[in-house]
Amino acid sequence: MGFKAHFRKAQALATLGKVEEALREFLYCVSLDGKNKRARSEAQRLLLSFFSPSVPGDSQEHFPDILKLLAPHPRLKEHVESMATEGTSHNLPKLSQEKPELPHCSSQEEAAAGGDRSSLANPVKVEGEGQRGDQKGQARDKEKGDAASAKAGKCQEKKRKHCQIGTQDPEVPTKALKPDPQAEQRAEAAVSVPLPSSVDASDLECALCMRLFYEPVTTPCGHTFCLKCLERCLDHNAKCPLCKDGLAQCLASRKYSKNVIMEELIAKFLPEELKERRRLYEEEMEELSNLNKNVPIFVCTMAYPTVPCPLHIFEPCYRLMIRRCIETGTRQFGMCLGDTVKGRFAEYGCILEIRNVQFFADGRSVVDSIGKRRFKVLHQGHRDGYNTADIEYIEDQKVQGDDYAELMGLHNCVYEQASSWFHSLKSSLKNRILSHFGPMPEKDADPQQQQQQQQQQKKNHPV
């Protein structure tokens, strides 16, 4: 099909109201003859009908189809995209006011063109008729011809003006449109102030604990979790729980992006739910800070009061245990030997106090702890993968008479044996013991008095 065939088909489709098909045919005409003003004008008019606000329906749904049609014509495609993205659609009402005259202009242009084609014969015809003596009819025909020529010229001028506006190069700078302050305020109010009834607590739940977000943090991959939930997941695997994206950098730095917007939304629209969520969290922290019931137990080795006990933490359950001891502020946990006969661990143990923790990039840590008090296990338990126990602390009873003499004899014997054993060691081994435990203390004149002072300090500064 040639240019004329596509053009006639496009005109017929436009008359039938099939705008999309007509636009496609006009674009074919433009691709065949890019300098044809009539085809370009009709294509521009149909594009305006898509984007004009006066046209009912959502014009954006046609936008992909238009871009697909304009794919072979980058210049027209850039112009259409600029109209949709840079806000030039504000000028469309002005252009659309001239749009109803365009079909009339086209028809008049065709009529004028038809008149131009027959104008060569009209003078002969009029002259022949004038020779037959009808001067009045000749004057009337001349007036009609002048009026038609004037209308055609005026229509052609409007059409040129419209084509110049529609085919303006998008690269040429134009004046920026003045923003409407009232419209911007209405848009901001509609976005920034949602209705409280539209906020559902289930939409703001953590995907891990299935409860309302508490201390929400957002991962680099864009997912939001409670801080404590994310830390527990990273104890087992350094990946996002949802998309499995790597979070090794977050684990190494131990710094998380706090989601302030989420916190403000919850505080503003879900105050009662947030209050209940905070109450549950505080109850959990209070329960974890109790050093008589459900005390965390590290089943590893024998610990003694005042003796340092360094630990290498790498198991996920003990990572969680150490982190909770630090978060609650107690910084203390129990240490017991394993005992598979009487239970999971021994009946007696020692409370350790965390002095310092050094974390590694892969989540492991080295804990510097020291023994504080001895205890007896009353009941063994289990919590989140690690052992717990209800305990009671052991206190020495003061003795008198023969028991006191026996105590002093045992005290002196143990001190002498320990001193002789230490001095019999090689110098290299002595240095290692001194660097780890420190120098050997002096012998107490009255062990009960020393124990009484320690117990008094524990009462003044309870665990």
Query: What CATH number does residue 371 fall under?
Result: 2.30.130.40
More confident residue, 330 or 458: 330
pLDDT at 379 over 70: yes
Examine residue 421 and state whether it is found in any structural domain, yes or no.
Answer: yes
Examine residue 175 and state whether it is found in any structural domain, yes or no.
Answer: no
Examine residue 306 and state whether it is found in any structural domain, yes or no.
Answer: yes
Examine residue 191 and state whether it is found in any structural domain, yes or no.
Answer: no
How confident is the model over 89-101, as pLDDT tens digits? 444 444 344 444 4
Highest mean pLDDT among 109-118, 156-165, 269-278: 269-278
Write down the pLDDT at residue 262. 92
Write down the pLDDT at residue 445. 82
Mode of pairing for the β-strands spanning 224-226 and 216-218: antiparallel
Write down the pLDDT at residue 335. 97
| Proportion of the chain above pLDDT 90, given as a percent | 41
71 and 107 co-located in one domain: yes
Between CA 216 and CA 205 the distance in angstroms is: 10
More confident residue, 438 or 422: 422
Mean of pLDDT values over 137-153: 53
Least confident segment among 127-131, 137-141, 297-301: 127-131
265 and 298 co-located in one domain: no
350 and 380 co-located in one domain: yes
386 and 436 co-located in one domain: no
245 and 375 co-located in one domain: no
Residues 463, 395: contact at Cβ < 8 Å? no
Boundary residue ending a domain (283, 318, 334): 283
Examine residue 136 and state whether it is found in any structural domain, yes or no.
Answer: no
pLDDT at 172 over 90: no
Write down the pLDDT at residue 195. 47
More confident residue, 199 or 452: 199
54 and 159 co-located in one domain: yes
Examine residue 131 and state whether it is found in any structural domain, yes or no.
Answer: no
242 and 351 co-located in one domain: no
Mean of pLDDT values over 184-210: 69
Domain count, the chain: 4
Band the pLDDT of 88: cuts 50, 70, 90.
Answer: very low
Between CA 332 and CA 214 the distance in angstroms is: 25
Least confident segment among 146-155, 276-285, 290-299, 378-387: 146-155
Mean of pLDDT values over 258-284: 93
pLDDT at 23 over 70: yes
47 and 90 co-located in one domain: yes
pLDDT at 177 over 50: no
Average model confidence (pLDDT) across the chain: 76
Write down the pLDDT at residue 40. 82
CATH value at residue 243: 3.30.40.10
DSSP secondary structure, 322-380, as one string = HHHHHHHS--EEEEE-B-TTTSSB-SEEEEEEEEEEEE-TTS-EEEEEEEEEEEEEEEE
Total number of residues shown for the chain: 463
Write down the pLDDT at residue 401. 85
Band the pLDDT of 365: cuts 50, 70, 90.
Answer: very high
29 and 97 co-located in one domain: yes
39 and 154 co-located in one domain: yes
More confident residue, 93 or 14: 14
CA dihedral (68, 69, 74, 79) in degrees, to 10, reads -100
338 and 438 co-located in one domain: no
Write down the pLDDT at residue 125. 42
pLDDT at 349 over 60: yes
Assigned token pair, 24: 């496609």
321 and 389 co-located in one domain: yes
Assigned token pair, 398: 């003061």
Residue found under tokens 């019999």:
424
Write down the pLDDT at residue 441. 83
> What domain range includes position 156?
3-118+146-166
Least confident segment among 55-59, 196-200, 445-449: 55-59
Examine residue 192 and state whether it is found in any structural domain, yes or no.
Answer: no
Examine residue 177 and state whether it is found in any structural domain, yes or no.
Answer: no
